[in-house]
Amino acid sequence: MKKKTIKQTEPKLIIKAIGGYGVIGRNMTVVQYGDESVILDMGLYLNRYISFQESGEEMTSEALIDDEALPNDRKFFAKHGNTVKAIVIGHAHLDHTGGIRFLASKYKCPIVASPYTSRIIEKMSYDDHWQLKNKLIPLSINSSYKLSKNITVELVGVTHSTLQTAITVIHTPAGSVVYTLDYKLDNNPPFGPKTNMQRLRQLGKEHVIVLLPDCTRSDQEGHTFSEKVARSMLKDVLLGLQDKNHAIVATTFASNINRLHSIIDMGNLIGREVVFLGRSFKRWISAAEELGLINFSNQAQILSNGREYRRFLKEANANRGKYLMIMTGNQGEPNAMLVRVAKGDTAFEFMPGDNIIFSCHVIPTPMIQANRRKLEELLRRKKTRIFKDVHASGHAKKEDHRDMIKMLRPEHIIPAHGTTPKHAALVDLASEIGYKLGENIHLLQEGQELEIK
């Protein structure tokens, strides 16, 4: 491994774990070099955020920090808030972007993110009626932006479960800090670019001083299968549903544009009209259409308000064999479309033999698992057919992490985005490669920091 000697007089490089260490969510890390710093991600812990919303209390950043729905940046802000050169966002998922609404404006700096992520942030602000006060700098994937004499940010393209996801690289004179939240190494994606492996290998030859890996699935053996596998699973299930007497409903994450693309294609294949129902589809699809990344509107109806839903669901109830409906509610979210339909709150009624495809996994937290159980119970009572786990994850598993570490050859590793057992699994893997805990692989908890020597 390459070593660069840092003279005593050189500015210190410090990594600060603000959020997402010991928990899956509320991601936020600070890279401090000398008297300048960069914030990486500003996310929500969705479980806590949703329970907070349901409590009806006033949503202030202070209350949300106290409730652990937001990363606790109080100490960092008080001491170093004025040193922040930029907030860099790796991709648009809420556990990486959802805190912007509450925390970003107190930092007098721009937000740097890919064009798609930037567009989603703008839409969040518009749709949810809050003002984005930071300047937004859309930075193309696989390009760099100089933040100061000493700090340059680079976004390296990587595969994940939403569009234009980046591995964030913070270049400093001490070496580069590589932040891989979130990623999978999809060698065969059905749409869009592959991971920029060439650049990652190149970075490994330059000087990666710290790697901060996404540990969401680091405790699982093997390789995360390609999005093409999910596409093939969908095809397999849908080709088996050719009778015209029963409804077909698919549900997945609205942010997973490539998955939605596959569902549209399969709807065409079996001769059904594809219709999107649920508020969140509009945001994720329109952002991609505005950037010219997709064109779903010419292949599907994207309904977005109550009047359109009511009219369509009445029609679909009378012609249930005509459509492939894509609904929100894959995690059993109480107000999502699939849940409302399953409860019998709409003009569409499930009949025995109707088909529900869950193109997702269940996020393993008690509240979400309970919501999904309730939804499935409602669907079973209606004697529908349920197809679960028609899905490929967006997060790297153990062997992907091994490949990433070998490519980047970091001097130090600090596991991020995960619970303690997931961080421990990453430590085990790194130990197999030759790293030593406390020496060049380090475990941080929220609020802790590490000076890289």
Instruction: Select 93 or 272, whichever has its Cβ closest to Zn ion.
Output: 93
Instruction: Select 71 or 204, whichever has its Cβ closest to Zn ion.
Output: 71
Tokens for 265, please give them.
């294609």
Backbone CA torsion sign across 229, 233, 236, 238: negative
Find the shortest distance in angstroms from Cβ 285 to Zn ion: 18
**Is residue 257 a contact partner of residue 288, using CB atoms and an 8 Å limit?**
yes
Q: Which amino acid is at 18?
A: I
Instruction: Select 182 or 400, whichever has its Cβ closest to Zn ion.
Output: 182
Find the shortest distance in angstroms from Cβ 36 to Zn ion: 27
Find the shortest distance in angstroms from Cβ 117 to Zn ion: 11
Query: Cβ neighbours of residue 146 under 8 Å, at least 6 residues apart?
Result: 152
Distance from CA of residue 284 to its chain's centroid? 12
Find the shortest distance in angstroms from Cβ 185 to Zn ion: 15
Strands 166-172 and 273-277: unpaired
Supply the DSSP string of 129-175, one letter for each residue. T----SPEEE--TTEEEE-SSS-EEEEEE-B-SSTT-EEEEEEETTE
Find the shortest distance in angstroms from Cβ 338 to Zn ion: 22
d(CA 185, CA 196): 10
Which residues make beta-bridge pairs with 33?
13, 36
d(CA 324, CA 238): 10
Contact residues: Zn ion, CB under 5 A: 93, 182
Find the shortest distance in angstroms from Cβ 92 to Zn ion: 8
Instruction: Select 93 or 261, whichever has its Cβ closest to Zn ion.
Output: 93
Instruction: Select 77 or 191, whichever has its Cβ closest to Zn ion.
Output: 191
Instruction: Select 25 or 204, whichever has its Cβ closest to Zn ion.
Output: 25
Instruction: Select 113 or 209, whichever has its Cβ closest to Zn ion.
Output: 113
Instruction: Select 182 or 186, whichever has its Cβ closest to Zn ion.
Output: 182
Find the shortest distance in angstroms from Cβ 181 to Zn ion: 7
DSSP H stretches of helix in 384-453:
398-408, 420-433
Find the shortest distance in angstroms from Cβ 150 to Zn ion: 29
d(CA 244, CA 226): 31
Cis ω before 182 (30° cut-off from 0): yes
